[in-house]
Amino acid sequence: MRLSHLFHKMRGAEKTMENASLADPDIVKLKYDSRRVAPDSGGVIFACVSGENSDGHDYARNALSSGAAALLCERRLPFDVPQIISPNVRAIMGEAAAILYGNPSDKMTMIGLTGTNGKTTCAYIIRSIVRAGGAKAGMLGTIVYDDGRSEISADRTTPEGPDIQEMLAAMVANGARYCVMETSSHGLDQGRLAGCLFDRAGFSNLTPEHLEYHSDMESYFDAKRLLFTKYAGKGCIGAVNADDEYGLRLLEEFPDNTRAYSLTDDIRSSHSCYSAVVALHDLNGMSLEVSCPDGTLFTVTSPLIGDYNASNILECIAIADSLGMDRDVIQRGVSECRNVPGRLERYNLSNGITVFVDYAHSPDGMKQTLDTLARFNRRRLKVLWGAGGDRSPLKRPVVGKIMAQYANHVIITTDNPRSENPANIARNVEQGVISHKGAPRVDTILDRREAIYFCLDSSKSGDIVLIAGKGPERFIEFKDHRVPFSDSGTVLEWALDRSVELAER
């Protein structure tokens, strides 16, 4: 595509063209990392992204020397090449990439999910429902990127705009009819979703998180709200949690294109609503009796546990139902979605111990997770957790106190210390644990592998063990390096070392 043609197709942002008289190169790719520009990579426009730690404008010379034919930048640079100038390159480069890749999001049913908690679980459930109906779905989220043919580990929930468009194009090429995407507040706020319009939107909840970025809850909500405004396509229908105060605000603001879902008797909403009663619930799953807005009833079973997962399932049912999917397909898809990696991922061990690996790292997430597990065995509940460094230090003693309220044994360990001293972080957490009246036994073991081994070695039949904080993560991040590590992998390693078998999961 000629650069001039690309320029005129980009309608989503303010822009000008500089040095247009020099050339009109044929552009086939957009790159924002100068290391990815190769001499044989064809017509490339290099996007100069201004980030927190580096400025892409400083790497424009490298990109041009490697073969880039044009620049997308925020100010005119002293190079004799065509330059598209826009005030916010990050917010416009996704749209440019979408045009270059043939607007792949227009060729699939796009399902966007947002909220503080629940995005990942909902993404897995919806993908399972789509597959149960015989269709192919791609997925972009916190744990993996699935292009409809293969999966790779994700490095962030919502990638940069050009990466999203490249993966969407791969989904289309692989025959995917649906794309399920987690949309983070950072991704929404920074414009990484430019070039995407969603056919369905899901909102789960909003609890304090990422406030070091958003500064307050209202700004955080405004970012999430963008999924229902800026990125909502024509005819987009939202599934919104009526049990959440911010969900109620969305329902009130968008009454004509949202559907409510709720687990409570008092829905507090005039919207037609999907509701459910948890009919059966144990450590191995639950059964929900679902009521739909059209008055029909049906039952779904799921191997997932927890009231918050019942709410997640309802969100997925509302989205799938709005797409006209058969109820038997929905039932099968929900029941076939087994463990979601790092989301109350269950390991039933032959020695009678039940281990859960979970991503819970915020006060709200930890409380919900422990509240779920405590209903099955409050007296024999052990928790292993460590707070991340350089993130929300005030939450550390808060989570410590929550663990003390539920567990009879707390093991404090290392998460991702980043630039902080792991021992100092652990002391912050311990302050919260010991502040609780009748505090449980507490041990601090900074080496996470050693801590997991100690936790499991000291457990006995009937115990429930929660290993929390990192979930599906595959590394421990220090200041200037990261070390490969997996909570789930360490549990399996321990089981092998101790000749303990895995029972049916």
For 402-458, write each residue's pLDDT tens digit. 999 999 999 999 999 999 999 999 999 999 999 999 999 999 999 999 999 999 999
**Residues 387 and 437 grouped into a single domain:** yes
Q: Measuring CA to CA, which residue among 130, 177, 124, 122 is closest to residue 326?
A: 130
What are the start-end ranges of the E strands in 325-471? 345-348, 354-358, 381-385, 409-412, 441-444, 464-468
Q: Per the domain annotation, does 503 fall within a domain?
A: no
Report which residue type is found at 394.
Answer: L
Helices (H) and strands (E) in the chain, counts: 16, 24
> Are residues 115 and 77 part of one domain?
no
Q: Where are the beta strands (DSSP E) in 196-322?
A: 198-203, 232-241, 258-262, 273-282, 285-291, 297-302
Last residue of a domain, one of 45, 65, 100: 100
How many domains does one find in the chain? 3
Same domain, 147 and 271: yes
Backbone angles phi, psi at 173, to 5 degrees: -65, -30
**Structural domain containing residue 313:** 104-336
Tell which residue, 494, 454, 489, has the closest CA to residue 474.
489
Q: Is 164 within a domain?
A: yes
Q: Do both 375 and 433 map to the same domain?
A: yes
Output DSSP code: residue 390: T
Q: Are strands 258-262 and 273-282 parallel, antiparallel or unpaired?
A: parallel
Q: Name the residue type at position 99.
A: I
Q: What is the pLDDT of residue 140?
A: 98
Indicate if 325 and 362 belong to the same structural domain.
no
Q: Which residues pair with 483 in a beta bridge?
A: 476
Q: Are 141 and 337 in contact (CB under 8 A)?
A: no
310, 336, 362 - which closes a domain: 336
- How distant, in Å, are the alpha carbons of 231, 254, 311, 474 from that of 236? 9, 11, 21, 36
What pLDDT, in 10s, does the model give residues 344-386?
999 999 999 999 999 999 898 899 999 999 999 878 999 999 9
pLDDT at 269 over 70: no
Same domain, 234 and 296: yes
pLDDT tens readout for residues 87-123: 999 999 999 999 999 999 999 999 999 999 999 999 9
Full-model pTM: 0.93
Percent of the chain scored above 90 by pLDDT? 89
**Same domain membership, residue 92 and residue 45:** yes
- Residue 115 CA to residue 140 CA, distance in Å, equals 15
CATH code: domain of residue 294: 3.40.1190.10
Q: Does the residue 442 lie in any domain? A: yes
CA distance 309 to 315: 10
The answer to whether residues 228 and 312 belong to one domain is: yes
Whether 114 is covered by a domain: the verdict is yes
- Is 145 inside a domain boundary? yes
Cβ-Cβ contacts under 8 Å for 456 (sequence gap 6 or more): 353, 355, 465, 491, 494, 498
Give the Cα separation of 185 and 417 in Å (integer): 23
pLDDT of residue 267: 55
* pLDDT for res 162: 96
Tell whether the model's pLDDT for residue 270 goes beyond 70: no
325 and 235: one domain? yes
Cβ atoms of 393 and 428 closer than 8 Å: yes
Instruction: Count the helix, strand and coil residues of the chain and give each as a percent rounded to the nearest 5.
Output: 35, 25, 40
Locate 479 and state its tokens: 């200041």
CB atoms closer than 10 angstroms to residue 255: 12
Give the CATH number of the domain where residue 15 resides: 3.40.1390.10
Do 143 and 287 share a structural domain? yes
In a domain, 452, yes or no: yes
CA separation, residue 214 to residues 44, 208, 387 (Å)? 34, 10, 20
- Identify whether residues 201 and 314 lie together within a single domain: yes
In the chain, the amino acid numbered 26 is D
Task: Give the domain CATH number at 417.
Answer: 3.90.190.20
Residue 181 shares a structural domain with residue 265:
yes
Q: What angle do CA 379, 384, 386 make, to 5 degrees?
A: 140
Q: Which helix (H) or strand (E) holds 119?
A: helix 119-132
Task: Report the pLDDT value the prediction gives residue 268, as an integer from 0 to 100.
Answer: 44
pLDDT for 272 equals 77
31 vs 405: CA distance, rounded Å = 50
369 contacts 381 by C-beta, under 8 angstroms: no
Residue 388 lies in a domain: yes
Asked if residue 502 is part of any domain, the answer here is no
